[in-house]
Chain A
Amino acid sequence: MEYILTVMVLIGINVVLATSFNLILGYGGLMSVAHPIFYAIGAYCSGLLAIHLQIPVPLSILIGAGIAMVLSFGVSLPSLRVSGDYLVIASIGFQLGILHVINNLDFTGAAGGLTNIPVLNEGPSRSLVFVLLIAVVAACAVLLVAWIVEGDYGRAITAMRNDEEAFSALGRNAMNIKIVLFAIGSGMAGLAGALYAHYFAYVTPEQFGIFTSAALLTMVVVGGAATTWGPLVGAVLLTTLPQAITFLGLPVSIMAPLQGVIYTTLVIFFLFARPQGLTGGSRGGGGLEAWSASAAFRARRDAE
């Protein structure tokens, strides 16, 4: 039972992560791989604040999310000013840099990880309560993103992703939208990280590396980028799948690479065979389609 509840907590956390990553990548069309680092920032900041400053856990969770949001400007402001392509490079640099710092500071527990993080709630049914909490948070995350991309602001986001030049020709500022989306998405990742830290009481740097970037990308692409339910479906699927494989009882030396192979295969398969993902309509104008359309368009324009 405890095992199932733990998996459900992980699913909830991954729903928040994939949904917020979808806001950045799918809806915003912003190529960033650094989503796990904002997850890490939320986890470490909240954990450290609770450990060293004895800040009440609920408050430290909110502060952790806030710090992740604020630090996102450090990546988005300088890179988006240059061009969207710089964001990819800046985000990789930021992710590796922060991971390096975490890995080498005694203060953060270095490679061994941060232990003895105070938990959010205790008691006999602590996991059950936490599952309910994370379910509410995940539902709020999905609804928040759905709300952002509906209505006037959502149409502006679609227009910006369709064509930035035409968008700015109408007096609209694409950079503002991108920075806002990146900040909201990063803040949500920070929240997920903080919740994780105060449930498992333990985080290690290796949880927030490129492998996690790949896993989140897979969730978004497989579920359906720029759709409301896609990241949720992707997160549920890709959290339970590795657990199911565990039951096969394969040795670790086969298990770990097998997961990587599955993720890679899924991403490639969906990119080519079903770019709208599992939940996207046949032509919903979803993120990946929009990118490939505008990328093809730009290539044509540049070739002229």
Chain B
Amino acid sequence: MFEIQNLTARYGPLIAVNDVSLSFETGVRMGIFGHNGSGKSTFLKCLVGGVKDVSGAVAFGGSPIVADQVHRNVMLGIGFVPQVQNVFPNLTVEQNLHIAGSKSDSSFLEEAYALFPLLRERQDQLAGDMSGGEQQMLAVALALMTRPQILLLDEPTAGLAPAIVKNVLESLLRINSELGTGLILVEQNVLAALDVVERAIVLKGGRVVFDGASEELRAKEDLWAWF
């Protein structure tokens, strides 16, 4: 379970996340939406301690998330897929997966390939040479290699063709139902994402301006005014 109390994150004078308090169960499927610059990525980073200047408290499963100690925090069972540069371009697919799986056993590699058969075909290709969609798949597979209880994904479908967007979201849903892994999904493809998540959060200027069931957000007539 994630517990967030009065979380505020700053970049110098700029307040990117402003006094956010939330909690959610580990197996949740939750979407985080909002304009560009509304603080979505910053909020997600705070959940793994990726922002230095924060106040308030974040805890996962009762353990505090310590700012600037990302490598320790994620080992509590959090998979984090950053918005950009989330694979290692100079390494092959298989080498990427080994970096991620260094703290687990190699059977996870088979699991990753079972989830994304395409990655097995591409195992000796440099990650930097793969298409955007393939890289996103690899990024998700990397995060899964640490055996997370919950997966934080920052715009995993950005820049992908609509058909591929559907593919990626479907595999996430499968991960959730088959492995029980929770999903926290930051998305610009709001409608597609609302099909996947059960709870939705909307951020504006770093504050939570909507928090409710995804159906509730979809039903809002002025939905587009929020974005």
What is the interface of chain A, defined by CB distance below 8 A to chain B?
152, 155-156, 158-159, 162-163, 165-174, 285, 290, 293-294, 297, 301
Contact = CB atoms under 8 A, between A and B. Distances in A.
A294 B90 CA distance: 12
30 contacts: A152-B102, A156-B99, A158-B91, A159-B96, A162-B85, A163-B85, A163-B86, A163-B88, A165-B82, A165-B85, A166-B82, A166-B85, A166-B86, A166-B87, A167-B71, A167-B88, A168-B70, A168-B74, A169-B82, A170-B99, A170-B100, A170-B142, A170-B143, A171-B103, A173-B71, A174-B71, A293-B89, A294-B85, A297-B85, A301-B85
A163 B90 CA distance: 10
Interface in B134-173: 142-143, 145-146
A169 B88 contact: no
Of the candidates A165, A168, A301, the one having the most CB atoms from chain B within 10 angstroms of its own CB is A168
Contacts of A167: 71, 88, 99
B50 interface: yes
Contacts of B84: 297, 301
A162 B99 CA distance: 12
B75 interface: yes
Nearest to A226: B90
A172 B88 CA distance: 13
A290 B82 CA distance: 19
Q: Which of A159, A169, A173 gathers the greatest number of chain B CB atoms within 10 Å?
A: A169
A162 B142 contact: no
Interface of B: 48, 50, 70-72, 74-75, 80-82, 84-91, 95-96, 98-100, 102-103, 142-143, 145-146
A172 B85 contact: no
Nearest to A81: B68
A294 B128 CA distance: 13
Contacts of B143: 169-170
B190 to A, nearest CB: 20
B199 to A, nearest CB: 24
A151 to B, nearest CB: 10
Contacts of B87: 166
Nearest to B145: A170
Nearest to A176: B71
B99 A155 contact: yes
Contacts of A171: 71-72, 74-75, 102-103, 146
A162 B89 CA distance: 7
Contacts of B98: 152, 155
A173 B98 CA distance: 15
A268 B98 CA distance: 37
Contacts of B96: 159
B90 A285 contact: yes
Given A152-B102, A155-B95, A165-B50, 16 more contacts: A156-B99, A156-B102, A159-B96, A162-B91, A163-B85, A163-B86, A165-B82, A166-B85, A168-B70, A168-B71, A170-B71, A171-B72, A171-B75, A285-B89, A301-B84, A301-B85
B90 A162 contact: yes
Contacts of A162: 85, 88-91
A297 B72 CA distance: 25
A171 B95 CA distance: 16
A156 B84 CA distance: 19
Contact of A158 (B74, B82, B88, B145): B88
B50 A159 contact: no
A286 to B, nearest CB: 9
Contact of B90 (A152, A158, A170, A173): A158
Contacts of A285: 89-90
B82 A159 contact: no
A22 B50 CA distance: 30
A172 B89 contact: no
B69 to A, nearest CB: 9
Nearest to A285: B90
Given A166-B82, A166-B85, A166-B88, A172 B48 contact: no
A144 B178 CA distance: 45
A170 B146 contact: yes
A152 B81 CA distance: 22
A294 to B, nearest CB: 8
A174 B84 CA distance: 18
Shortest Cβ-Cβ A-B pairs, 8 listed: A285-B90, A168-B70, A159-B88, A162-B88, A169-B80, A168-B71, A170-B100, A173-B71
